[in-house]
């Protein structure tokens, strides 16, 4: 099929109607996303006279959003390279929390541990958890996706669901079916600073402090390193990449490794933040993070981060203003709206060439 370069004397740029439609749907999405916070901002201003309530929601939203961003990156990396929704990714995050919790026990980290021990202990936990989850994600790929690479897309989606259920059950067997409380190692809710009535807690600082370097490391890796280039090439056009000598299978596995590692990091942060762990947290977080990835633009790394932050805020606002019972419905409603009206998300997708 043809991929024709723009003719030099062709119509100047794209026809106006196409540009307008594209802009309308992007700003439409932004409007839909901004509607709820704006409404609440007005409500707060009239009721309380300041925006501190909303401000607190947003601070918590951004730090939760950082966690979602890490998970969303995993979804988007995998989708970008093999156009597959890794349905079991949320469970990798969940297992990450479990593994981290287990490591605390092994390393003897507890409330009595001194600050130096805590820092090194948590760093070690972070590294080990990331490795474990990265490897686990690769194993999921080898077992559930690789054998089905030539099957219709239905097939790997189903095996992913199966995998997700197996992992959830592992969680149930590990710590039971109810959420389990965990030692508040970093005193997550301790105030760090309060500005204009808006309080930043330790947990918020932690989430942002861990996420930023990880995201920077990832983007640098992908844009600068040889392997990162291989990933981008494979995402664009796997056949061409193969012809250029890139080992597509290894590249795909590497992508899963990175995605899993990020999910593992998210698992540890979540553990420190929420001070609880639950077999079902991956299902919920997974779907919310997937919504984030789609909202930002699936396949787009910046989009995943942006989407994560936005969704985190939406979730917090919904939890506190509408009711935590309704939050999943709210998030999923946004997901449906996006997928129907603007599936390419805010930033638009990087699609594979039709070939």
Partner 1 sequence: MTAPGAPASPAAGSGGALAATLLETDHVSKVFGGLVAVNDVSFTIPEHAIVSIIGPNGAGKTTFFNMLTGLYKPTTGRIAFGGREISHMRPDRITALGIARTFQNIRLFATMSAVENVMVGQHSRMSAGLIGSILRPPRVRREEREAREKARETLSYVGLAESVHDERAINLAYGDQRRVEIARALASDPQLLLLDEPTAGMNPQESDQLTAFMRRLRDDRKLTILLIEHDMKVVMGVSERITVLDHGEKIAEGDPLEVRANPLVVEAYLGKQG
Partner 2 sequence: MTAVRNRLGSHFNLVAAIAGLAIAAIIPMFLDPLSSITDNAITAGAYVVMALGLNIVVGFAGLLDLGYVAFFAFGAYTTAWFASLQFAPANHSKGIHILAGDFASKLPGLHFNFLIILVLAIVITGIAGMLIGLPTLRLRGDYIAIVTLAFGEIIYRFAVNGDAIHLGKGYPLTGGRQAIAPLDSIDLPGLPAFDDASNLRPFFWFVLVLVALVLFVNFRLRESRLGRAWIAMREDEVAAASMGIPLVKTKLLAYATGAAFGGISGAFLASYQSAVNADQFQFGVSIFILAMIIMGGLGSIWGVVFGAVVLSFINTYFIPNVFNSIPSHLGLNFDLTQVSFGIFGFLILIVMVLRPQGLFPERRRKIELTEGIGADESLAEERP
Which residues are near partner 2 by CB under 8 A? Answer: 1-4, 84-85, 143-144, 147-148, 150-155, 157-159, 161-166, 168-170, 172-173, 177, 283, 287, 290, 323, 325-326, 328-329, 332-333, 335-336, 339-340, 343, 354
Nearest distance, CB of residue 331 and partner 2, angstroms: 9
Considering beta carbons, is residue 1 or 116 the nearer one to partner 1?
1
- With CB under 5 to 8 Å by kind, the binding choice for 15 among partner 2, partner 1, none is partner 1
Nearest distance, CB of residue 100 and partner 2, angstroms: 22
The answer to the question of residue 7 lying near partner 1 (CB under 8 A) is: yes
# residues near partner 1 by CB under 8 A: 13
Residues within window 16-35 making contact with partner 1, judged by CB under 8 A: 17-18
Considering beta carbons, is residue 211 or 344 the nearer one to partner 1?
344
Nearest distance, CB of residue 185 and partner 2, angstroms: 29
Token couple for 124: 């070690």
Considering beta carbons, is residue 18 or 244 the nearer one to partner 1?
18
- With CB under 5 to 8 Å by kind, the binding choice for 143 among partner 1, partner 2, none is partner 2
Considering beta carbons, is residue 152 or 245 the nearer one to partner 1?
152
Considering beta carbons, is residue 177 or 212 the nearer one to partner 2?
177
- With CB under 5 to 8 Å by kind, the binding choice for 112 among partner 1, partner 2, none is none
Nearest distance, CB of residue 134 and partner 2, angstroms: 21
Report the 3 state secondary structure along the chain: CCCCCCCCCCCCCCCHHHHHHHHHHHHHHHHHHHHHHHHHHHHHHHHCCCCHHHHHHHHHHHHHHHHHHHHHHHHHHHHHHHCCCCCCHHHHHHHHHHHHHHHHHHHCCCCCCCHHHHHHHHHHHHHHHHHHHHHHHHHHHHHHHHHHCCCCCHHHHHHHHHHHHHHHHHHHHHHCCCCEECCCCCCCCCEEEEECCEEEEHHHHHHHHHHHHHHHHHHHHHHHCHHHHHHHHHHHCHHHHHHCCCCHHHHHHHHHHHHHHHHHHHHHHHHHHHCEECCCHHHHHHHHHHHHHHHHCCCCHHHHHHHHHHHHHHHHHHHHHHHCCCHHHHHHHHHHHHHHHCCCCCCCCCCCCCC
Q: Which residues pair with 193 in a beta bridge?
A: 200
Considering beta carbons, is residue 140 or 207 the nearer one to partner 2?
140
Nearest distance, CB of residue 207 and partner 2, angstroms: 26
Nearest distance, CB of residue 6 and partner 1, angstroms: 5
Interface residues with partner 1 (CB under 8 A) are 1-7, 10-11, 14-15, 17-18
């Amino acid at each position: 099929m043809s991929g024709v370069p723009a003719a030099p004397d062709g119509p100047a740029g794209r026809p106006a109607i196409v540009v307008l439609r594209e802009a309308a749907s992007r700003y439409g999405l932004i409007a839909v996303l901004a509607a709820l916070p704006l409404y609440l901002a007005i409500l707060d201003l009239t009721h309380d006279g300041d925006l501190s309530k909303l401000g607190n929601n947003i601070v918590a939203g951004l730090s939760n959003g950082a966690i979602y961003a890490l998970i969303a990156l995993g979804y988007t990396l995998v989708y970008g390279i093999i156009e597959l929704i890794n349905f079991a990714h949320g469970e990798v995050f969940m297992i990450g929390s479990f593994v981290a919790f287990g490591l605390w026990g092994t390393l003897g980290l507890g409330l009595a541990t001194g600050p130096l021990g805590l820092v090194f202990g948590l760093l070690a936990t972070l590294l080990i958890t990331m490795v474990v989850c990265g490897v686990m994600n690769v194993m999921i790929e080898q077992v559930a996706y690789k054998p089905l690479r030539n099957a219709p897309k239905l097939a790997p989606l189903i095996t992913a669901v199966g995998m997700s259920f197996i992992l959830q059950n592992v969680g149930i067997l590990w710590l039971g079916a109810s959420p389990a409380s965990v030692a508040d190692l970093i005193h997550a809710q301790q105030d760090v600073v309060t500005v204009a009535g808006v309080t930043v807690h330790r947990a918020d600082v932690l989430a942002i402090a861990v996420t930023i370097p990880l995201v920077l490391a990832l983007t640098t890796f992908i844009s600068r390193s040889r392997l990162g280039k291989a990933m981008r090439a494979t995402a664009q056009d796997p056949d061409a990449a193969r012809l250029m000598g890139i080992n597509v299978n290894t590249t795909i596995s590497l992508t899963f490794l990175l995605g899993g590692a990020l999910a593992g990091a998210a698992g540890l942060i979540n553990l420190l933040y929420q001070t609880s762990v639950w077999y079902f947290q991956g299902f919920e977080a997974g779907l919310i993070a997937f919504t984030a990835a789609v909202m930002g633009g699936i396949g787009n790394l910046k989009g995943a981060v942006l989407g994560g932050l936005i969704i985190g805020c939406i979730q917090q606002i919904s939890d506190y203003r509408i009711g935590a019972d309704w939050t999943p419905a709210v998030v999923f409603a946004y997901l449906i709206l996006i997928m129907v009206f603007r599936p390419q998300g805010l930033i638009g997708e990087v699609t594979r060439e039709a070939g």
